[in-house]
Amino acid sequence: MSSIEHEIRRGAYYDSVVLMQLQRSLLELEGVEDAGVVMATAANLELLDDSGLLVGGLEPRPEDLLIVVKAGSETMAAHAIGQIDSILNRRRSAAASAYRPRSLDSAVKDLPEAAWVLISIPGRYAASVTRQALSHNKHVFLYSDNVSLEEEIELKTQARERGLLVMGPDCGTAIINGIGFGFANHVRRGAIGLVGASGTGLQAISSSIHGLGQGISHAIGTGGRDLKHGVNAITARQGLELLAHDPDTKVIVVVSKPPDPAVAASLLTTARQTGKPTVINFIGYAPPVSEFENLIFANTLLETAGKAVQALVGGVKPDPNQPHVQGQVKPGFLRGLFSGGTLAIEAVRGLQAFLGPIHTNLSVPGGLVLEDPLVSKGHTILDLGEDIFTVGRLHPMIDNDLRLRRMEQESSAEEVALILLDVVLGEGSHPDPASELGPAIEHIRQRGVEVGVLLIGTDEDPQDMVAQRSRLESAGAKVVTDTISLVAYAVALLGDSTEQDQPAISTTALAAPVAAINIGLESFYDSLLSQGAASIQVDWRPPAGGNERLIGILSRIKSSQQAGDQDEPVKKG
C-alpha cells in the first residue's frame, strides 16, 4: 500500500529550477510514485492537494520548503526523504567553484562593469530588488511575474526618469548585443532590431529572420502588460527610441499581444518618428493599411519576419500619393462629415490606429459610440447618410444643406482643427458639389481650420472631376482620391511633430559588451556564461527568511532610518 511522507524545512529557499531538479531526482529513486517539492505558498499547497499529495495536519508557512514523497511503502518513502540532503549536496558541490555574493550591493562591487541585472525571484520580492537595481543605475531584465500593475508602472516610471530600462515584469526574452537573456534563440547578428511585448513572438520572429538569412541587432522585451492603458508602453517607447538611434539597426520590428487602442495609436506615432522602416504586428489587431509612411503592417509572425527582411534588402519607398505635412498646424480635433458610410468606416479604421479612439455613429470595432450624433466629441467621424440625418431630407450625396450646416457648427468650435469631407461624383449625385462646398471651405479656412476632401469619381463623370478638384483646391482644401491618403493627411496634420529628441537612454547600453548580475534562476546565469558574457550569480535569499511579518517590521525600520538620515542636519567640520 502506498505511503506519503513529508518534510518541512523552515525558511529554506531555493529557486524553481533547483526545486524542479530535486523533485526529478526524487522521482528517479526506487519505489517513488510521485513527489512534490515546493515553497509552501497557498497556490502551491492547492496544487499538491489537487495531485493527492497534501496530507492533513501540515502547517507550513509560505517561506518554508515543503517536500512530499509518495512511494510504494512507508520504508521507501522514508528512504527517499532521507536522500534529500545528499541530492542537494551534489548540487552544491557542482556549483561551489564560483564565488557568489550574498547581496546585490556586493555583486555590484565585484562586477562594477555590469550594466544589467536579471531578476527571476518570486514576485512578492521582485519589485523591491528591482528598485535596488535601479538605485545602482542598472538596467533590469525582470522575468518574475506576480508583480502588481501599480508596481510595474512605478518601476518603469522610475527607470525612465533615470534613463534606464525595465524589461518586464514577466519578460521572458531579450537579446542585447548578441547575448540572449532568458529564453532566447541563437541567431546571427544583423541589422533588424525588435521590440516585443510577446516573448514567444520575439523568439518566433527572430528565428524566422535567422532562417531567411538575416540577423538581429537587438531584441528588447517589454513584458506582456507594457501596452496596457496604465503602463502606456513606457518600455516599448524606450526600445523604439534606442533602436532609432542605434547605428547597427536599419529595420525595426514591433510585436505585441493586442494593445490598448489609445496606447497603440501613441506608440505608432513614436514608431513613425524613428524614420526607419518599422514592421508592426499587434497580434489579433486588424491592420488599418498595409503600409503607412515608414510603417509596414503584418498579420502573422512569419509575415512579420518576411517583411522585415524585405524592408532591409529592398528598402521602403514612400508612397508618392500620400501627402506629407511637416509639423503640427494646430492642436485640436478632427470632425469628419461623410456622405458615404463605407468611406467613413474606412476612415475610422485608419484614423483610430494613429490618433486613438474615434467617436462615431457607425459600428466599427474599436470606435467609440457617439451618444448623440448631433453633438460631436473629441475626434469624430459621422456618416450623414444615417437615418437620423436623412428623415425628411435628401441624402447628403444629393443635397449639401445638412453638411453645410454641420460644417459651420463644427468649425466654430475652438477645439476643432480639421474638417474631413467626402465628395462623391457620378450619376444621381449633386451636379456641382464644389460650387456649394467651395465657399464654405473658404470661410472655414479663414477661421484657421483646415479641410481635407476625399474626392471619388472619374474623368468621365458628368460633374467634371478635374474642375471639381480645381475648385475645391482653390478654396484651400487638401484634395485626395483615396481614404488612406486622407488618413495620412489628417495624421500628419494633427499628429506629433516628426522631430525627435535624443533618447533618454544612452545607446552604450546596447553597444557595450554584456556584463550582468543574475538574481534568481541559475539557468539564466549558466546561459550568460555559455554565451561569453561576464556574469555573477547572487546567492539571494528572501529577507527575514521570507517571514512576511518580520519583512514588514524591517521595512518600517529602514524607512524610519532613511527619514532620519534626511532630517539630520549636515555637520561641518
> Rounded distance, CA 403 to CA 389, Å?
10
Amino acid at residue number 123:
G
DSSP run (H or E) holding 262: helix 261-273
Domains of the chain: 3-95 (3.30.1360.30), 100-170+512-544 (3.40.50.720), 172-322 (3.40.50.261), 333-494 (3.40.50.261)
E runs forming strands in 222-341: 251-256, 278-282, 291-292, 295-297, 333-338
User: What pLDDT score does 258 carry?
Assistant: 83
Query: What are 90-120's pLDDT values in tens digits?
Result: 765 545 456 789 899 999 999 999 999 999 9
User: What pLDDT score does 445 carry?
Assistant: 95
User: What pLDDT score does 10 carry?
Assistant: 81
Query: What are 259-279's pLDDT values in tens digits?
Result: 888 898 889 989 998 999 999
pTM: 0.78
- Which of 248, 227, 226 shows the shortest CA–CA distance to 175? 248
User: What pLDDT score does 544 carry?
Assistant: 52
SS3 content of the chain, % helix, strand, coil (to 5): 40, 20, 40
Which residues, 6+ apart, have CB-to-CB distance to 49 below 8 Å?
none
> Rounded distance, CA 344 to CA 421, Å?
9
Whose cell is 516599448? That residue is: 236
CA-CA distances (angstroms) from residue 399 to 123, 380, 390, 395, 434?
63, 22, 10, 6, 12
Residue ranges of the chain whose pLDDT lies below 50: 94, 96, 325-329, 497-502, 570-573
User: What pLDDT score does 262 carry?
Assistant: 85
User: What pLDDT score does 567 carry?
Assistant: 53
User: What pLDDT score does 556 carry?
Assistant: 57
The answer to whether 385 and 398 are in contact (CB under 8 A) is: no
User: What pLDDT score does 499 carry?
Assistant: 42
Q: Which three cell numbers stand for residue 147?
A: 508583480
> Rounded distance, CA 504 to CA 2, Å?
62
Whose cell is 529628441? That residue is: 501
